[in-house]
Structure 1
């Protein structure tokens, strides 16, 4: 340390240059902090703590650079300062890598607006209603009442499904009949469509679709597709299953209605 101080070259020019450098550093740091504050204020999802941290880190970085430049006017080597800056930078990158990824991803999400509060979204294996979007994560409430914090980087990296953006969502159930003859197919499809239309919660602005999946001797399988409110999928589907089951019983058809069809069985064509 004594050798380092001895190597310094102090004169009027050096002192003047240092004073000017420090004043310029102070002014640049003040302007940079002010600019960063304006930028982060435009991101409403950022917490106040994150905003303050971003502003402070900007100021510290500029002051570190200014001090390093000022030392060069004294004839001191800037290499120790650069080495310290590199070490600190590497440590910050390693420690705050996940935080930085989520912060940057949060800024992108807030800019693109792929969802809004109250929307039901699916990211990866998680499906839920958005209750909060902050600088670190998107907070979802699942249908079973759990709260899930999905990191912003995961939301941005994984495919994102917004189930609420259209204001409607399509679901489907499967109907398997054992006694439908060829002449009865049109009547069966009309019965299924009418029954699904009358179920509570089914939208009427989108048509009911009845698609034949399997037609064979003594067996017919239909897929009934319908639209409903994005957040009422389970209750509306249950109502459609009840309505289709009642319609089959009234018209004397033998079969099953399911919203979760099992995989095809390794059996004859009359088995379900």
Structure 2
């Protein structure tokens, strides 16, 4: 005696219909396709990041693929009427524990992805981040590594880099420098300002554009103070300042005008000195 299983009778006795099975199969196929695409996309994105080992990139890409696969399978089972709430609860608990354990690492990794994709800073840039100034030596999955002008290596976590203002001195190409000139008021003011600008324009380290400019800051019968502004290439700060001081001092000495030239200008006192 043979027993035959009628597929239609089987589904007629259950809440699962042929339509549900077809939808579940389509979702499984879509899940398989998304699993492959997600792994390839994650691998391609991680391949653009430097400072991350190949093993870490491979593990991360697999984790992304497995997450997509788990969600797709769970959705297909839900269509077939399988209770997946316990499985979802366990997965959420595991994800929460993992997020708490790897919170700092994950934050820095995500921030590193943003830094290396948007590129607010690049290797070789002169930047200032979180009060630290230096040349960008490396940007990896954990930190931005700066080489300070005095030779120190500074590691700034990626999360802290993004949460603080980033000052990029290299992006504009040129930076502004200032020098203060204190001299006796033996020259007409216009003539003095013109001489200072002319001296700055003749300095090799000073950029042609924007042009140097001078402003009278204070004047008295026997002395005056002038602020000289000039622009220089970002990697020639010390050279430009030294050459400007030498050129201005030479021009004023040539014209017989004793002066004191200081760069950068000293900070003004917050309160006037007490009378003697």
TM-score (norm 1): 0.75
Matches within 5 A, 1:133-212: 133-177=139-183, 179-181=184-186, 184-212=188-216
Contact persistence 1:40–1:46 (CA under 8 A): no
3-state SS of 1:180 partner: coil
Q: Which residue in the other structure is 2:272 paired with?
A: 266
Contact persistence 1:123–1:158 (CA under 8 A): yes
Aligned-pair CA distance for 1:140? 1.9
2:122 to 116, 124, 128: 116
3-state SS of 2:231 partner: strand
CA distance in 1 between partners of 2:255 and 2:33 (Å):
84
State the Cα deviation string for residues 19-40 of structure 1 (Å, max 9, x = none): x89x867775444323322333
Contact persistence 2:144–2:155 (CA under 8 A): yes
Q: Which residue in the other structure is 1:219 paired with?
A: 223
CA distance in 1 between partners of 2:198 and 2:274 (Å):
31
Aligned-pair CA distance for 1:230? 0.5
RMSD: 3.5
Q: What runs of 5+ residues in structure 1 fail to find an aligned partner? A: 1-12
Aligned-pair CA distance for 1:187? 2.0
Aligned-pair CA distance for 1:237? 0.8
CA distance in 1 between partners of 2:61 and 2:225 (Å):
63
CA distance in 2 between partners of 1:89 and 1:38 (Å):
24
Q: Which moved more, 1:135-144 or 1:197-206?
A: 197-206
Q: Which residue in the other structure is 2:246 paired with?
A: 242
Contact persistence 1:50–1:135 (CA under 8 A): no
CA distance in 2 between partners of 1:195 and 1:35 (Å):
57
1:103 to 109, 115, 127: 109
Q: What runs of 5+ residues in structure 2 fail to find an aligned partner? A: 1-13, 15-20
State the Cα deviation string for residues 70-98 of structure 1 (Å, max 9, x = none): 9989x996454334322221122122222
TM-score (norm 2): 0.74
3-state SS of 1:214 partner: strand
